[in-house]
């Protein structure tokens, strides 16, 4: 069948060559071990598949006429990705009869440095290529990434310059780290091969970004993973780094046991508790270098998982947990470093960890606050009984206008939590409420005293005040600017708190129907940043239980804010602020828990709860208006 890209003559030529018996050649993997020299390798200049067994089958695909493209995604270190590309170049130059070969990198600067430092040496160190090396190659071409062999041309270039991808037809192509290429460059590179019937394209990269050109390329291919055999159940599984809730697999360790008082980790303890869990049976495999190498030698590429893929495009991924030359504790350290940077506002460090260490695709919408944002107690469920020995039950409500674009109407979110006299607590309810009447029905059902119910009045204050007046609740209102409130003690001395003394507000002020002055609602003002500090302290110093059946929305919103370090523009002093992880994330349940923490402090200060607990608010500049915590 004649394709759109070829003429009648080209069709006949292709049919002719396909009919000619091909000489038996050794598999490319064996050819590489015989001829390829890994110049500058820290392991050995002789290429050995024992170090990178995952390359054996993909190397042999290079000489498979039914395969035209390989997209290989793997970690940045200890995978042999670059050697894979260099072997392909050497093999094509040595064994093909013609058709230009192209090696694409992100920029011309990287290209020139890489060619001079490594690629030229690798090509010359390969015996079959060295025999074809042109005599009298100009000094300029020798350092500029262009080699004109007798039977084909080799060029190495950066893709940042559009002209590099808009001229000559290319038969064979290696694309290095396309995850970093400017959008659209992969498509331009592909266009260079449209007029060649026996083309081949090799894409080599770490992970990219969800929905970028590499992500789409990978998931349009066969999508195959490197699978090890479990020594217990003998089934194949993909060695994953991350733990997915409700699924077996991933790298596990005891972070609580290893965490020091200052928040750092003892990595000797982490290393002693570290294990990889089989995704099939849950068997635990420890970080033994010999055992990992043995499993890698018996591993294989799994079957294609994309039923719609063309089999001529093999897309394969090697996970960060699969390379036996890198200890798992090194992965854990990198993860912790990335998460610490993320808490300080450095997104790039965490993005690099996902892409380069886990060899996965970074999703800008999925950013954790820190390891174990909340600890879920799977043996506890939400119920009206709650703690039988509770000292108080507190209910907090947050009003939401709703987004018309999402089809939302005004509603409320509520959280109810029980506290013992020692401040140990348990969540008994979290959920969405439609109407003010539903708030009162919920309060009655869970037997919460009206005086222990508070509603935030940051939005539509008059409406909230009227609800509070109707049912006997308290109203809350936050302050963006850091503030401590003066309280007078019975002996007329003064103290300072993160919340104000209760003040009465008139819910019907200015009412034309004569209700003005008939009702009074207790209003408490508070420092937005400090109530977050307080919740953080209570969670750290008490048993703060979250039942296993909490909603996904609660879990996500409890991870919606993080503590970041800032520098004052005038004094250059550092200070900490709670900020939303991303602006689009909801934080309503998290804010309700902050309200509850503040109310606990009020009960302690009033003597209702007798417990030895103190809280010193963090110092923050008072000459800056702070709006980092997302509204409440």
The neighbour count for residue 496, using CB atoms within 10 Å, is: 10
pLDDT at residue number 610: 85
Percent helix, percent strand, percent coil in the chain, to nearest 5: 35, 20, 45
Q: How many CA atoms lie within 13 A of 145 on its CB side?
A: 22
Global pTM reads 0.60
- Three-state secondary structure call for residue 419: strand
What percent of the chain has a predicted confidence (pLDDT) above 90? 55
Instruction: Give the tens place of pLDDT for each residue, 398-439.
Output: 998 876 555 667 899 999 999 999 999 999 999 999 999 999
Span 441-447, mean pLDDT?
96
Burial (CB < 10 A; 0-12, 13-18, 19+), residue 517, is exposed
- Three-state secondary structure call for residue 21: coil
Range of weakest confidence among 84-93, 137-146, 403-412, 509-518: 137-146
Instruction: Give the tens place of pLDDT for each residue, 147-184.
Output: 999 999 999 999 887 677 777 889 999 999 999 898 88
Instruction: Give the tens place of pLDDT for each residue, 252-288.
Output: 999 888 888 777 889 999 999 999 999 999 999 999 9
**Which residues, other chains included, contact 587 with Cβ-Cβ below 8 Å and sequence gap of 6+?**
557, 560, 561, 580, 629, 630, 631, 632
Rg (CA), the chain: 32
pLDDT at residue number 515: 86
Instruction: Give the tens place of pLDDT for each residue, 291-345.
Output: 999 999 999 999 999 999 999 999 999 999 999 989 999 999 999 888 777 655 5
Span 20-48, mean pLDDT?
79
Q: Are 545 and 426 in contact (CB under 8 A)?
A: yes
Q: Are 37 and 125 in contact (CB under 8 A)?
A: yes
Using alpha carbons, select from 618, 563, 560 the residue that is nearest to residue 590.
560
**Which residues, other chains included, contact 22 with Cβ-Cβ below 8 Å and sequence gap of 6+?**
none
pLDDT at residue number 627: 45
122: pLDDT strictly greater than 80: yes
pLDDT at residue number 16: 60
Using alpha carbons, select from 146, 355, 313, 321 the residue that is nearest to residue 250.
321
Q: Are 175 and 203 in contact (CB under 8 A)?
A: yes
Q: Are 477 and 632 in contact (CB under 8 A)?
A: no
Instruction: Give the tens place of pLDDT for each residue, 72-107.
Output: 999 998 899 999 999 999 999 999 988 999 999 998
Confidence of residue 3 (pLDDT cuts 50, 70, 90): very low
Q: Are 507 and 470 in contact (CB under 8 A)?
A: no
Handedness of CA 43, 49, 51, 55 (dihedral sign): positive
Instruction: Give the tens place of pLDDT for each residue, 550-564.
Output: 998 999 899 888 888
CA distances from 261 to 257, 264, 267, 625 (A): 11, 7, 14, 33
Instruction: Give the tens place of pLDDT for each residue, 176-222.
Output: 999 989 888 899 989 888 888 899 999 999 999 988 999 999 999 99
Handedness of CA 432, 436, 438, 444 (dihedral sign): positive
Structure-block tokens of residue 4: 């759109």
Within 422-527, where are the H helices?
A: 436-445, 461-471
142: pLDDT strictly greater than 90: no
Q: Are 470 and 436 in contact (CB under 8 A)?
A: yes
- Three-state secondary structure call for residue 303: coil
Q: Are 138 and 144 in contact (CB under 8 A)?
A: no
Confidence of residue 367 (pLDDT cuts 50, 70, 90): low
């Amino acid at each position: 069948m004649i394709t759109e890209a070829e003429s009648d003559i080209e069709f006949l030529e292709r049919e002719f060559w396909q009919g000619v018996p091909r000489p038996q050649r050794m598999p490319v993997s064996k050819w590489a071990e015989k001829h390829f020299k890994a110049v500058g390798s820290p392991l050995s200049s002789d290429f050995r598949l024992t170090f990178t067994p995952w390359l054996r089958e993909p190397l042999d695909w290079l000489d498979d006429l039914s395969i035209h493209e390989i997209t290989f995604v793997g970690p940045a270190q200890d995978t042999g990705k670059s050697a894979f590309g260099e072997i392909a170049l050497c093999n094509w130059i040595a064994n093909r009869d013609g058709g230009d070969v192209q090696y694409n990198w992100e920029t011309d600067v990287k290209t020139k440095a890489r060619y001079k430092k490594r690629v030229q040496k690798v090509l010359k160190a390969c015996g079959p290529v060295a025999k074809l090396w042109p005599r009298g190659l100009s000094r300029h071409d020798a350092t500029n990434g262009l080699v004109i062999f007798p039977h084909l041309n080799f060029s190495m270039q950066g893709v940042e310059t559009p002209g590099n991808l808009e001229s000559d037809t290319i038969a064979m192509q290696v694309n290095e780290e396309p995850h970093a290429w400017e959008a659209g460059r992969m498509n331009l590179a592909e266009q260079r091969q449209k007029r060649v019937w026996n083309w081949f394209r090799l894409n080599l990269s770490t992970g990219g970004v969800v929905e970028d050109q590499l992500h789409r390329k990978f998931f349009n291919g066969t999508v195959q993973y490197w699978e090890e055999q479990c020594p217990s159940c003998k089934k194949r599984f993909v060695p994953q780094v991350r733990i997915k809730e409700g699924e077996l697999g991933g790298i596990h360790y005891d972070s609580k046991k290893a965490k020091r008082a200052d928040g750092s980790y003892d990595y000797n303890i982490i290393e002693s508790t570290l294990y990889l869990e089989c995704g099939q049976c849950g068997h635990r495999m420890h970080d033994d270098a010999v055992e990992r190498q043995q499993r890698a030698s018996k591993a294989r590429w799994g079957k294609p998982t994309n039923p719609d893929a063309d089999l001529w495009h093999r897309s394969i991924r090697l996970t960060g947990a699969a390379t036996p030359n890198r200890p798992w504790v090194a992965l854990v350290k990198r993860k912790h470093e990335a998460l610490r940077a993320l808490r300080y506002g450095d997104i790039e460090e965490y993005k690099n960890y996902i892409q380069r260490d886990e060899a996965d695709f970074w999703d800008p919408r999925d950013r954790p606050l820190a390891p174990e944002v909340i600890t879920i107690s799977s043996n506890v469920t939400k119920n009206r009984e709650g703690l039988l020995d509770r000292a108080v039950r507190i209910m907090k409500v947050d009003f939401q206008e709703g987004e018309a674009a999402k089809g939302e109407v005004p509603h409320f979110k509520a959280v109810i939590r029980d506290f013992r006299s020692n401040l140990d607590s348990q969540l008994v309810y979290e959920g969405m409420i439609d109407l003010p009447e539903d708030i009162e029905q919920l309060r009655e059902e869970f037997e919460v005293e009206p005086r222990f119910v508070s509603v935030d009045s940051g939005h539509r204050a008059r409406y909230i005040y009227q609800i509070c007046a109707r049912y006997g609740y308290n109203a809350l209102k936050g302050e963006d600017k850091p503030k401590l409130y003066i309280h007078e003690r019975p002996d007329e001395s003064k103290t300072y708190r993160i919340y104000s003394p209760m003040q009465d507000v008139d819910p019907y002020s200015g009412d034309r129907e004569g209700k003005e002055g008939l009702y009074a609602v207790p209003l408490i003002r508070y420092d937005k940043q400090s109530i977050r500090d307080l919740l953080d302290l209570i969670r750290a110093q008490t048993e703060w239980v979250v039942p296993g059946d909490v909603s996904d929305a609660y879990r996500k919103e409890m991870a919606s804010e993080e503590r970041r370090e800032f520098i004052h523009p005038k004094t250059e002093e550092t200070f900490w602020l709670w900020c939303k992880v991303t602006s689009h994330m909801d934080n309503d349940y998290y804010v309700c828990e902050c309200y509850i923490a503040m109310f606990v402090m009020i009960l302690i200060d009033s003597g209702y709860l007798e417990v030895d607990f103190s809280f010193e608010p963090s110092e923050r500049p008072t000459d800056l208006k702070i709006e980092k915590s997302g509204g409440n």
